[in-house]
Amino acid sequence: MSDARAIRPATRDDLDALARIESEHLSGTWSRDALADELEKTFARLRVATEADVVCAFVHGWLVADELHVLNVATHPAWRRRGVAKALLEAFFIEARASGSVKALLEVRVSNGAAIGLYKSFGFVEDAIRARYYSDGEDALLMSAAL
């Protein structure tokens, strides 16, 4: 990452940017209010990547017992394919390991080949298909990785 890019915890000041990115994301399931609620949960983690103080991506997950549940990885279209999501996930997994997590879990749309490829590059394996998981009827691929 360049010196102008940083990864940090999300704050209330980031909520409008997170909601914009989420609305353009493949799932678009997390509202601004829902993301605000996540900031208050002790087990929830929201991290943002910024470039020149502009939020360009975020990752959202829950630390539950010794597992990290990755709920969302979303990048603004202008910053896709630039290594932002990879850098976010690397930092997220380091933080999860430091918090005692030994395993990561996630669901991803079966049609999202780019995300599946990214997750596989971190050692995620395909565990199962959850039929008609998303509101539009698309299946979800369940994946896991040792941290």
- Given the residues 90, 107, 134, 138, the one annotated as active site: 107
Strand ranges, E, within the chain: 5-9, 44-51, 54-64, 67-75, 103-109, 125-130, 140-146
What 3-state DSSP class applies to 63?
Answer: strand
- In the residue annotation, 126 being an active-site residue is answered as no
> In terms of DSSP bridges, do strands 125-130 and 140-146 run parallel, antiparallel, or are they unpaired?
antiparallel
Smallest CA-to-CA distance from 96 within 58, 118, 57, 70 is with 70
Query: Is 134 annotated in the active site?
Result: no
* Active-site residue identified among 51, 119, 126, 134: 119
CA dihedral sign, ordered 50, 89, 42, 24: positive
Nearest to 54 by CA among 11, 99, 6, 93: 6
Q: Residues with catalytic annotation? A: 107, 119
